[in-house]
Structure 1
């Protein structure tokens, strides 16, 4: 679901920028995904130049949703046991990788304006963003993060890249589930309790 979530965001953001620039469906793509840590590699740098680059920089499990049922009823008489889904927060870095500094700032402003206007993304409010939705339900809420100067320095040092014009968001929640049945059985309908006298 991480790929689908990022694909949906890129499609929606590109549509917004094209509309803001007065372009139509054939407007140049402005947002791509890529690893900004590899901008020192010529082949990668050329591919990502003059684009908004979306990079996944971290994952975090949402522990508040870790508890839950590990079984589900199947029909009227059976139970299937599965591992619980993993609920993830995605830390997404949007870097305006443009040669012209003014253009970079304008693109970054468009990213901020886009997510200010639309914070929650579902399949219902993002029609056509995913050609073949992998699941029936999908929800992603984007939160703007404001790291301190020291944290920004650590982030770009960790990436091993020169700091660019960028903004960091947290996307909540992406659910990962294999839906693999581990075991099954019948539903417990009654419990017989024997007294000590009956077992003696």
Structure 2
């Protein structure tokens, strides 16, 4: 699900930037800025790169399971906050182009903070809603993050994407509800 959510965000942002700047090539790539040896990747050169920085459980998930005529003994889904960085890997001679793309990306997310299947028909099955918001980092945290990433700082912004849901759908038990006279439902009692 995480890969599908990040790809969806990247595809939507690419479509917006391509239309805005009248270009046919992708301006956003999903992947690391550098390889295992610390060298910039070819995919990240002169584009915006979207890469995962953290995954955390959403402590206040929205919504719940719909109620039906059966009680299904199933593990509750895990709602995740997915943190990703959008960074400019532009060469020094076109540094300003990278800043222009980051500015346009920020405007895109400001105008489109919520993605639902009604707004985004290509949303993958299993994802009912995604929200994308800026995740502020202090200067010290930015330095630590880039140090942990093993790279040099490039213009970037951190986002938090909520709520990616992981649900294996493994059913452990099914308990039918018994209807009482008058149509009221109540759980079947066991002795």
Q: TM-score range by the shorter chain?
A: 0.7 to 0.9
Does residue 55 in structure 1 map to residue 51 in structure 2? Answer: yes
TM-score (norm 1): 0.79
Task: State the Cα distance separating 1:186 from its structure 2 match.
Answer: 3.9
Distance 2:138 2:168 in 1: 37
Partner of 2:146: 156
Partner of 2:168: 178
Partner of 1:103: 97
Match of 2:33 among 31, 36, 40: 36
Task: State the Cα distance separating 1:50 from its structure 2 match.
Answer: 1.6
Task: State the Cα distance separating 1:39 from its structure 2 match.
Answer: 7.3
Task: State the Cα distance separating 1:14 from its structure 2 match.
Answer: 0.6
Q: Note if contact 1:55-1:92 (Cα within 8 Å) is conserved in structure 2.
A: yes
Q: Encode CA deviations 1:4-62: one digit per residue, 9 max, x unaligned.
A: 21111111101110111124xxx1011111022537555x6123212211111001111
Does residue 167 in structure 1 map to residue 118 in structure 2? Answer: no
Does residue 92 in structure 1 map to residue 84 in structure 2? Answer: yes
Distance 2:165 2:37 in 1: 33
Does residue 14 in structure 1 map to residue 14 in structure 2? Answer: yes
Unaligned runs of 5+ in 1: 193-200
Q: Note if contact 1:39-1:45 (Cα within 8 Å) is conserved in structure 2.
A: no
3-state secondary structure, aligned to 1:64: coil
Distance 1:97 1:34 in 2: 12
Task: State the Cα distance separating 1:65 from its structure 2 match.
Answer: 3.3
Distance 2:107 2:62 in 1: 33
Unaligned runs of 5+ in 2: 178-186
Q: Note if contact 1:72-1:81 (Cα within 8 Å) is conserved in structure 2.
A: no
Q: Note if contact 1:36-1:159 (Cα within 8 Å) is conserved in structure 2.
A: no
Q: Note if contact 1:89-1:172 (Cα within 8 Å) is conserved in structure 2.
A: yes
Partner of 1:118: 112
Distance 1:153 1:109 in 2: 21
Bigger radius of gyration among the two: 1
Distance 1:47 1:157 in 2: 21
3-state secondary structure, aligned to 1:141: strand
Equivalenced residues, count: 180
